[in-house]
Structure 1
Amino acid sequence: MTDLDIRVLGVVEAVGPHGTVALTSTRRVILGVLALRAGAVVPYTELVDVLWGESPPRTAFKTLHSHVARIRQALAASGVDSVVTTRDPGYVLELPRERVDAHRFELTVRHARADLDRGDTGAAVQTLRAAAQLWRGEPFAGTDLGEWGHHEVDRLRELYLSATEDRWAAEIATGGAAAAVLELPRLVAAEPLRERLTGLLMLALHHCGRHADALTVFERLRARLADELGADTGPELSELHTAILRRDVSVATPPAPATHTPAQIPARVGHFTGRDAELSGLDDVLTGDELPIVVISGPAGMGKTALAVQWAARITARFPDGHLFLDLRGHDPEHAVPAEQALARLLRGLDVPEDRIPAGECARSALYRTLLHARRCVVLVDNAGTVDDVLPLVPGSDTSVLVVTSRRSLTGLVARHAVHHVVLDALDAASSVALLGKVLGEKRVAREPKATARLARVCAGMPLALRIAAARLVGLPSRSVAELADELSAARLDGFAVEGDARTVRAVLAGAYRPLSPDAARMLRLLGTSPTPTVSGHLGAALADAPTAVPVLGELTGAHLLIDAGDGRYRFHDLIREFARDRADAEEPEPAAIAGRLLDWYLFIADEANRLVNPDRDAVKPTFRFPLPALPFAAGRHEATAFLESERDGFLPVVQYAREQGMPTEAWHLVYLLTSFYEVSGRWTERVELCRAGLAAARDTGDLSAEAEMLRALGVAYYMTRRLAEAVDTNLTALRVVREVGDLAGEGHVLNNLANAYAELRRFDEAVPVFREAGECATAAGNRIGVALSQRNLGHALVRMGRAAESLAPLTAALAIFDDLGNARLRAGTLDTLGEAHRDLGRHTEALRDFAEALAISREIGDRWLEWELLRDRGLTHLAVGDLAAALDHFGQSLTVTRAVHDRNGEAIALALIGHVHLLAGRTAEAAERLEQALSVRAQVPDGYEEAHIHRDLAALAAARGDDAAAGPHRDRAVRLYLRVNATAEAEALSEPGS
């Protein structure tokens, strides 16, 4: 065992075999944080946050590594070696947790509480006294910690205070009231608003016969709570105050045991499946410092009661004094059980005779808490409707656990009590199939595995729906699973019913729908018509023609008919969405108006974002049929693209929905208006499907100009996703259409895109004349931006052909036009190519200047696609002058951006370049790892030229390792690929002897 002790409960200290380790304040903090997570990786970023907060210096990581190196030296000098190790992405202190005083304190407190659970109060007193002696002062005393550190100190302080309260409660119970009277006033003065400490002081004074002093202590706290917080004392303290007023001796004696132990928890549901994570989290509740209220909430039919009963059955041994059950029927306001009646039922379960049950909710609640005090019981309250239904049923001590199920969130409980909240959603696919297998039998499921998986999907993971579907098959062994899946797919909600059982999915959801306010019910119907995976509150307000939807959305999420997906977005469970659509069909008088408002809203946000991101893209000007709502984002390009990013998953469903609703013009208009968003954000793979849908919609209209526009957009999407052969074919089709229409400017744009595809295929001899033809069309049409684009792209092709000197003229001409038009994005793209030309001409300073200006523009306008290319090009320039460290840094940044925009081609390029730098630096292991990763990604986005580079470097890597057998195949593969894409110079260089 490592002979090192670390103390953080006070000033941070480390003591090794040779005495206290000499460390500066900063290094003590680092070692202390590592000690709190002994045995686990603490990320570099977390340590930087602890040391410097939100404003770390530029050299933060370098400084951190230097501090850790000094810590290792200091530990070694004190006789401790190799305890602080590096393990990506951070550091680990390889030290047993019991060698850290904070962990030792927590373990000691846990043992003491186990003694209390066993009723061994005397042993608990001794253990808690030992725990208190580990505490030398405020954790990390005298240090300035970041946010994480402050939270950890607060957690340790709370543990210390609760352990101190446990200790003095045990001391008083074992005759130590006199000692408590001497010590507790100091603790109460330090924590004047902590009610349990005040209660312990009152109890100790009461035991010592100082009743008047005990009442004075209470009055002092009550006045302070009222003055400072406007709050009253809690019910436990108020009850103690009343007992002392009455000189009640019962506060010093345990309650009399009941004559029988209640066991009211219902039988567990058959074939309980899944919910392992939820059950594990519930088990962890019992290991904490205090026992919270457990609230299990979720939509109707999700198995809330089944989970509660399953867990209650698991923990009965931990709570041997009784298991109470009560159904409040809170989902049905007309038949809900009032609190007074609910308490009466619980009191009867606790063996209180009918004639001893007091009248009134307050008196019954007080008796209920008195009877549960010091008893270990499970109280399961099913189907609670509101917070007010639950509050009177909360036990007065943490010896019993209250478990509540509800279709509502009951978040208001958090203001009064500690709450562990479990929100149930649908079962995952594996658990859904497993449940069907348990009910139907594994053999039957094994006969039709695909049909069973489909049936599980139709049931959308709702346990009630899965059980009903299985019940419909159990009695019919010859019926196929596939047949039922087909029937339920067609019948949907109506199919989820079993003869003789009133508990259908539709009936359960209707029960949750009926109590809604009229506005919330209508919002549910309106949002149910949306085709998108999630919906925003802004869309809800637009559909309802209301200034805000926040209150009704809160009601719907509170009822778990809508799920809060974060960032102002919401989602439906599939069957609840189906129910909402059914209600809309039955109750909404103007379905066409709903569809019109929805499409108006999407066109509105896309149009406004397009104006901010690229006002030159103005071929479409949508018309709106309904009053426009307030703009849901601030008038800035970053805010616009951020909002569209949150809506991105819904774009394709909305375009398809527009076609289904007979509005194809709106469909292709939306695709057009979203072009600017995809140009700056990337994600071109999904853009392909969007453009295909837009093309189909344009063809629905019969408008050739619309068809040409969507063909052009699809060609660009194919180009950006490296589907170059399809890009060529699509642009050739677009070219025929624009020529048929007579759109000269459009012809220029299509020719430009076609030439770009030729250039990427390294068919430069075809690309160059097409670029020139594109420029001629744009000139004839008076389209200056088209002229500049053809010049810029011609320049780029010339650079790639090794004719950088010839590229300067067209690039400079393009730059002048973009400057005159004020188009920052295209200026940045042209500067990027100009920088490449300067680099190839050996003008590295000019190249870096061009790249720096372009990078600043790309970041200002949020064009992440251009950003990764610029980072790559800057890295290549540093590589050209031999600065491997700077090159590696830029390639690493480029990799981060490509992954953020999901550009697999860019990711493969960045990985290959990182591997290339490691190879040049002689770091063969790192080079091999990155090059193999690059090859794997490249397989998903084929590009013969880029793949050849990877095999070239893998050949060089194998040769460097002396593995000629591996080098040869890689070299041959690279040569074949270079020749295939007409890169003969590269192929010849690699074929030379000794290459």
Structure 2
Amino acid sequence: MGGSATLWAEHAVGREEDHGAGDRPGAWAINVLGPMEAWRAGRAVVLPPRRRGLLALLALRAGGLVTAGQLVDGLWGEDAPPTAVRTLHAHIAKLGAALAESGGGRLIRRRDPGYVLDAGAVAVDRDRFEDLARSGLRHCAEGRYAEAVRSFGGGLALWRGRALSDCPVRDWAALEADYLEELRLQAYEGLFAARLATGAHDTVAGEIERLVAEHPLRERLWELLIVALQVSGRSGDALGRYRQARRTLVDELGVEPGEGLRHVEAGVLQGIAEPRRLLRLVPAAAPGAAGPLTLPQEISTLVGREADIERTRHLLDASRLVTLTGPGGCGKTRLAIAAARAAAGFAEVAFADLAAVHDEDGIADTIAAATLTHARPGARVLDQVAGRISCDRLLIVMDNCEHLAGACARIARELLTRCPQLKILATSQEALRLPGEAVHAVSGLGVPVPERVRTAADLAGHDAVVLLAERAGIGEIGALSPEDARAAAAICARCDGLPLAIELAAARARLLTLPEIARRLRDPYTILADGPGGSRPQHRALRATVEWSFHLLTAEERSALTRFSILGGAFTLETAAAVHPDAPILGTLSRLVDKSLLKALRTPSGTRYQLLETIRGYALEQLAARPAEHAWARRAHAAHYLRCAEEVESGLQGPGLGALMAEVAEHHEDLRAAMTWLIGDDPESALRLAAALWRYHYLRGRYGEGRDWLRAALAAAPPGTSPRVLAGAHWSAARLASLECDYREAEALARAAMELYEGEGDGPGVARSQALLGAICRELGDYRQAIGLSRRSLAAAERRGDTWAVGHTLQMLGFACWLSGDFAGAARFSGRAAELFGPIGDRERLAWCRLDLGAAALYTGRTETASRHLTQALQAFLEVRFKEGVAWAENLLALVDLGHGRRREALRRLATSLRLHHELGDRWRQAGVLDALARTVALLGDGGFAAELLGAAGHIRAAIATPVPSCERPAHAETEKLVRAMVGSAAYEEAYALGPHLDIEDVRRRIAAPLGPVPSGAR
């Protein structure tokens, strides 16, 4: 619809000639409705693309705080580099300087944790457009259609193309542009309707036709087109367009036309030519003109609440007061209406919507209207209600009691006492706390775990997905692609299974794909912005629903909730106390649970508490608006997680490893948040945290993430940082670098750590560094140096009596020995290590000893012994979910299978090992697995593919400068000889040269083809 805006220039009113700057001399104008423009005093300010985009982001929220994180997301999205925040600050400084050069003072101000564009000095065309669009809607509602035409036309004349069309913005800002485009379409629809209502239908049909062609799934545009044709005397064309609209909707969305289109069709068939009747354009009713409330008629189906309806019915059979509790947006009202319809034994059902009521008198008046009680002047309303219903078998639904819970409780108590046949079904975010009250907590709909969804079949049985599919017009859930299935699961999880949030997300399916909605749901208040037109004020948007709940809290409860918002996942009582030490924490948590703003989760390790993501996002925004408190809470949060990380570091090499790893993993997002904060606030503590977590990243297979944390912390370390802290960080970074086969960096970091330890006289640190340098030498094939360094480290550990360090160094010696071909030495060293680790209870290191013993047995022909040791190692590695160990064990067990002629079993194991090593980024071991795969494939008869696999392994080793391990050289030479004999030297060289171009998925596909599905291995 790029050129359509010019159609309405003649309707524009009040458009300023100085590019939106208004009549303030020298004022700034920033225009985002098209290519981004910045003007001052009638002169354009030219900016490079990134700074132009940055200014656009600030202009979208002029006058409001835009956090640094939001600016990073808006500029880079998910592709943000590690230096994004630092780069952002540099761009801000340069942008501020460029704007200052144009005069007018300082437009951008720092306000932790972000920046604010001075709204008093800037006119943004987006704001003018929204004001005019709102005026147009108001004029239409009041029946003043000529004024509506001028307002809508004036707003549309501000557009110069697609919003932010030349700005490289991402994430929420791209969504904001989509939102503006949606408002633009709504303004066109309002303008067309108003023009038809004024009788100006001579040219409007052709103009609508152009927009229908661009947006064929917007039913309102079809309605307007059909009406324009009808009032122009073209009834046949109007009916033809209805049939075309229906066919388009059925073919594209699988849905029949909605009520509006059906109403227009009926009007055409009846020969109605009055546009206001066809479009049902009537002035809004005056406040208070509506009749008494009755049980509302639902216009959409209720999904996934059958068990809740039945439960509520049973409670109503047994109790006179039943309260449905739950967070805003969970569907309490819909459930109450459905349960009231299903309830048996009532002569009447009355529905009292208390959302807009402000006091006890208002409650009484609303109930009187719902029960058709005609109150007499001068008499107490509640007395008249009680007299009216006295002994009737009546059910009153009191909806939305939370903001007047005490008053609702008093009125409910009085009515129940005076009316023996009366029952009340209340909805509230907290119970009314009356004697005999039955409470049913309404939770979100069932949600799949996104990480476990691989295909549409994994969505089965989850009501949240059913609701999303129905509201988004998805015909068959089972037909979704894997990408869409994963996106649907992510959307439902991000919406916490709340029906309101899911319906708002589904409404975006007209504009966005499911993956696009899922990506943009990181800022739910942007995408979940517009509720159903007929819904009540607190239900019109997710943000309004959360605000409704938030403002019902006491000041102390609001403070607690905002501080809890910085906690990323489920948290303990101790964690809550760390960020909110100002009040008795148990009582505060209890009240927030009672008010449905916090979930209490029972876990094997004790009670955990968790905020719904929808509530957490709003609370975090409130905290960010108070910079001092936000900074204090972040520091307390980071300090707490630093203490926790340093306390568990040693525990990750002892008994209970699996449970401890799972517990640390639960807090991964909080650890990440603490790390991000500390890098900017306390770099030395950031170094401590990153170093304390190196073993966690190692065991979880997150080598790259651990390195990123350490790299960022080391870069931020100021002069005067403790040498011991620096040494620990260098050593940890070296260890993770070696695991990713970045040997040059690993060696440099390890030597830097050793120098720092030597400077501090830290013998254990020096010994650890020597052992690490030995491990690096081992993978580079320098076994003499590796064993020599490990022996020196062993001697130091034995001198100080450190049993674990002795065992660890013995195991590393055993590892180096069997790789070098010294299988007797491997059995001796790793056997001694196993004797030490058994009493200590370090299952991960004990499993490594088993693996070393298995390898020594394998290479000396004792395959039964090898199989026993390796199977024990694999089981232990699986139990602690240690990817590297699983990958190694599968690799060596495949060689056992190969020795027994079980080639297909070997192939499956090697496929699993290759996948896991690839996920870890361990290229050194990938090369060894590719060699073994080549041998297996050759034995299965595919010499060409075997040569390609050997070429891939050779390419990896050349890239990381490592040789074939000594123990594998005989098999490698034999495989090469076998393959050459199979295909001939020329064909071998040709296929070998293709090896570097193989990718992991291609290898796995070609392996899987003759075997069927390749098992996934460790999860």
Q: TM-score, normalised by structure 1?
A: 0.49
Taking structure 2 as the reference length, the TM-score comes to: 0.48
